[in-house]
Amino acid sequence: RLALLFILLLPACLAKPFHQQGLFDFMLEDEGSADMPPTDDPVTSGFGPVCPFRCQCHLRVVQCSDLGLEKVPKDLPPDTTLLDLQNNKITEIKEGDFKNVKNLHALILVNNKISKISPLAFAPLKKLERLYLSKNNLKELPENMPKSLQEIRAHENDISKLRKTVFNGLNQVIVLELGTNPIKSSGIENGAFQGMKRLSYIRIADTNITSIPKGLPPSLTELHLDGNKISKIDAESLSGLTNLAKLGLSFNSISSVENGSLNNVPHLRELHLNNNELVRVPGGLGDHKYIQVVYLHNNKIASIGINDFCPLGYNTKKASYSGVSLFSNPVQYWEIQPSAFRCIHERSAVQIGNYK
């Protein structure tokens, strides 16, 4: 009997510990065993190529980043929805590079050496929503970008001009990132963004523009123009931006904000004007109903008026400030009347500090 019991228990004793596996583990098992010898050929199945050599493919995501590639790999899986080609040495995007990935939703080409994109390169990508072209050598945005795009990021290139024809038909774009390019105000064609009916976020920071671009769409909720060469704000430059909630203008050379400018952005909640050349608080803050954050530090403001931030009457409806920064200005805190901040309920919301 003891011998029989030993024989029955032997398989259990030799069994490996149980390891809980998730869906991801089982799918990896399906793709092949890690014990198989390496090969220089694309991973294949009975139906043809599945994954380009050295790339990683999983759940319709093809990752070919950091491989030193000089061109877009062939044999991309036709069901690919995200293609990551960042951190390579690709210099050109050619017609036909994406002919087999018609279901692509996101294309990442960041940090390559791309200087040329064929006008028909993106023609097959009717479902593309996100196009990332940052950190390349492009002198202009590519033509004929897919009309399905919702997000375009092309910062840190060599782009100097923004033509209206490039954005024609891109009425689904929500996010546009064009910072750190040698763009000048004269290089932005008048009304270049007018057809972008859904554009909500635009960033043209660290460029050479000297004024707020004209003809921005009223759909904008965030406008970031920090680190440029803007010297003044005209009321007309903000005209029509009735949905704007956040305006970034820090690190410019702004010395004045024309009276009435803030009236054109009635739903503004954040105003960043720090690190400029302002000598006074912009007019209209006291009467603005919704503004809650105002950054004015590192300017040349020498005095604070009693009505600069708050409305005349105590019963006037106004959103409470959550942040007002005034430090690194010539104004001395003991020279400011306490009633200047009468509409600010939290004392910690005001940062005055010292001028150095």
DSSP letter at 42 equals P
The CATH superfamily assigned to 159-274 is Ribonuclease Inhibitor (3.80.10.10)
Mean pLDDT is lowest, of 31-35, 68-72, 82-86, 151-155, for 31-35
Q: Which residues contact 351 (CB under 8 A, 6 or more apart)?
A: 297, 323, 324, 325, 326, 327
User: How many Å from the N-terminal Cα to the C-terminal Cα in the chain?
Assistant: 93
Q: What is the mean pLDDT of residues 216-235?
A: 97
For 39-97, how does the pLDDT look when each residue is reduced to its tens digit (9 = 90+)? 334 444 445 557 999 999 999 999 999 999 999 999 899 999 999 999 999 999 999 99
User: Is there a shared CATH topology between the 52-130 domain and the 159-274 domain?
Assistant: yes
245, two tokens = 């909630």
258 sits in which H/E element: none
* Distance from C-alpha of 337 to C-alpha of 329, rounded to nearest angstrom: 16
CA–centroid distance for 295 within its chain: 21
pLDDT classification of 7: cutoffs 50, 70, 90: very low
Q: Which class is domain 52-130?
A: alpha beta
* Closest residue by Cα to residue 294 from 340, 237, 354: 340
Map out the domains of the chain as residue ranges: 52-130, 159-274, 278-283+293-355
Q: Helix (H, G, I), strand (E, B), or coil: what is residue 111?
A: coil
34, two tokens = 């890690």
* Closest residue by Cα to residue 257 from 286, 229, 240, 235: 235
Give this prediction's pTM: 0.84
For 248-264, how does the pLDDT look when each residue is reduced to its tens digit (9 = 90+)? 999 999 999 999 999 99
Give how far Cα 95 sits from Cα of 71, 99, 101, 108, Å: 12, 8, 13, 17
* Distance from C-alpha of 121 to C-alpha of 231, rounded to nearest angstrom: 40
243, two tokens = 């949905």
Token look-up 């590079």 returns: 97
